[in-house]
Amino acid sequence: MNVADPHKPARPRQFFRMQLWLLLRAFARFETTMFLRTRYSQPKMVAIGVVGSFCLAVYYPVWAYLFPQPYENLPMRLVCSATFIPLALLPWWPRRLRTHLPTYWYFAMTVAMPFFVGYMTLRNATPAWLMTHLACVMLLMMLFDIASFLVVFSIGSLLAGLVFALSPEAHLQTRTMLEYIPLLLFGMVGGATCTVSSNMAEQSRIDALTAASNNIAHELRTPLGSLRIAARAVARFMPDLIRSHRLAEHEGLAVPEVRAQNLHALERSIGVMEREVTYANTIIDMLLLSARPIGEVPLTLLAARECVEQALRRFPYGSRAERERITLSPTGDFPLLGEEALVVHILFNLLRNALFHTDRAGKGDIQVFVEPGEQANRIRVHDTGPGIPPDVVPRIFNRFYSYASDSAGAGTVTGLGIGLAFCRAAMEHMGGGIACRTNLGEFTEFTLTFPHPETGDRQ
């Protein structure tokens, strides 16, 4: 008698769950690529919108009367021209609509270039339209990466072919289109080969950042070390000098008058010097860690609460008031499989961002929670600051993306944009993840999720 394997029904479910996860991950990567390409093209969008809407409309009399083509369609041309108008009006878009800019950008490019130009090329098959189609292909390859180009070009071309097949009295110039296909393939392959330069530029940027961080560390470590030694020497002999000055005054000797508050300022300056040196060294450490790949950092068993307490203790606060604005939950602890330096520097990044934005907003406290759970363990960093605009939230973990909100609600780019990207890479290396939850004007909360060490759940 055969006994059913209790694990057998679970295997198909696990397989489909894995396939769904891979599909969602691929979609997330494509969505990130969409945003990046949209962001790179955004400075030129207004110009593209103006030129695109103008050219699509003004070329109708050129191809209809000056150099007549076999087929023209004014309504379709005007509709496609209208898709560029919102891009020309981009500076006046409300913030709530800017979250949909990547989607609209891809839609407009798909309709105006591969669809419209492709359809008109199929209907006319004249040298003018064949050259226009090839020029549009090269423009698309300049505006998008290879994956995005293939999606936009494929969807637009398929729609153009479908509309052409359904059009009345449509006749395909078979020989002309067959002669054009080798030229089109050559242009696409050549364009794809040239786009390797974008990857090289990205890698060069990372290499330049790593080299710059190494040079900064090398150039600053020595003077910072000398400054720390000098501060400790001053701290050692300053009390004797102050006592000598006071004793000389008491004995009536002719010594320069120094006010009591000035003497107190000298005593406090030693602590300020020590704190600034510690802060500078911490920033250098964070820059070096963030600029380099995580690699195969060995993981060990750690206590979450100890890591959080160490981060709060070592963080280079600008003042005592900053430290008092941060509170740690009184209870909660869990073991995690990680690397102490990574966890501490992740918390450094989150604390630094929270302090920066709450300082600029002039309001907000920061709470850190250590929460063990059944499914996963979590560390939450919650601040009641200005929050993050909804169009920015999906991008904050992208490498080289930086945003700072101000009181007017406008965005200004600050920093290198590597802090949160480093946090995500470090958390993924430790088998966990990082997420952001925010409400503009109310709060921002980052959640670090760690798997249970005994499960060995490493992504």
Domain ranges of the chain: 11-194, 201-291, 300-455
Tell me the pLDDT band of 418, cut-offs 50, 70 and 90. Answer: low
Tell me the pLDDT band of 116, cut-offs 50, 70 and 90. Answer: very high
Q: What is the pLDDT of residues 132-160, one digit of tens each?
A: 999 999 888 888 878 788 889 999 999 99
CA 207, 212, 215, 216 torsion: positive or negative?
negative
3-state secondary structure of 328: strand
Contacts of residues 75-82 at CB distance under 8 Å and 24 or more positions apart, as own/partner, are 76/116, 76/119, 77/116, 80/56, 80/111, 80/112, 80/115, 80/116, 81/52, 81/53, 81/54, 81/56, 81/57, 82/53
The answer to whether 209 touches 416, Cβ cutoff 8 Å, is yes
Closest CA to 304 of 199, 88, 452, 428: 452
Q: Phi and psi at residue 407, in whole multiples of 5°? A: -65, -25
* Residue 374: its H or E element: none
Give the whole-angstrom CA distance, residue 210 versus residue 292: 6
Cβ density class 231-256: b for 16+ within 10 Å, e for less:
beeeeeebeeeeeebeeeeeeeeeee
Quote the tokens at residue 153.
């070009």
Q: Higher confidence at residue 252 or residue 275?
A: 252
Q: Phi and psi at residue 292, in whole multiples of 5°? A: -100, 155
Q: Phi and psi at residue 373, in whole multiples of 5°? A: -145, 170
Rounded-to-5 percentages of helix, strand, coil across the chain:
65, 10, 25
Quote the tokens at residue 436.
């952001």
Top-tier CATH class for 300-455: alpha beta
Question: Cα–Cα distances in Å, from 112 out to 56, 95, 187, 351?
Answer: 9, 25, 19, 46
Quote the tokens at residue 138.
């090269």
Beta strands in 79-188 (DSSP E): none
H helices then E strands: how many in the chain? 15, 9
Rounded to an integer, the average pLDDT of 421-427 is 83
> For the ranges 67-71, 259-263, 304-308, which has the lowest average pLDDT?
259-263
Question: Cα–Cα distances in Å, from 173 out to 70, 176, 285, 355?
Answer: 12, 6, 65, 66
In this prediction, residue 369 carries a pLDDT of 92
Q: What is the pLDDT of residues 190-242, one digit of tens each?
A: 877 766 545 555 556 666 666 666 666 666 666 777 777 777 777 777 777 77
Quote the tokens at residue 440.
């503009």
* Residue 327: its H or E element: strand 326-328
The amino acid at residue 124 is N
The answer for residues whose C-beta is within 8 angstroms of residue 37's C-beta and 6 or more apart is 143, 144, 145, 148
The answer to whether 81 touches 52, Cβ cutoff 8 Å, is yes
Give the whole-angstrom CA distance, residue 407 versus residue 129: 51
Give the whole-angstrom CA distance, residue 402 versus residue 416: 7
Displacement of CA 326 from its chain's centroid (Å): 26
Q: Flag whether pLDDT at 180 surpasses 70.
A: yes
Range picked from 25-39, 98-112, 290-304, 387-401 for highest mean pLDDT: 98-112
Q: Phi and psi at residue 409, in whole multiples of 5°? A: 90, 0
Give the whole-angstrom CA distance, residue 332 versus residue 72: 71
Displacement of CA 153 from its chain's centroid (Å): 26
**What one-character DSSP code corresponds to residue 172?**
-
Q: Flag whether pLDDT at 281 surpasses 80.
A: no
Quote the tokens at residue 334.
């869990």
Give the whole-angstrom CA distance, residue 131 versus residue 69: 14
Tell me the pLDDT band of 411, cut-offs 50, 70 and 90. Answer: very low
Q: Are strands 404-405 and 326-328 parallel, antiparallel or unpaired?
A: unpaired
Closest CA to 76 of 167, 142, 189, 139: 167
Rounded to an integer, the average pLDDT of 372-388 is 87
pTM: 0.51
Q: What percent of the chain lies above the pLDDT cut of 90? A: 22
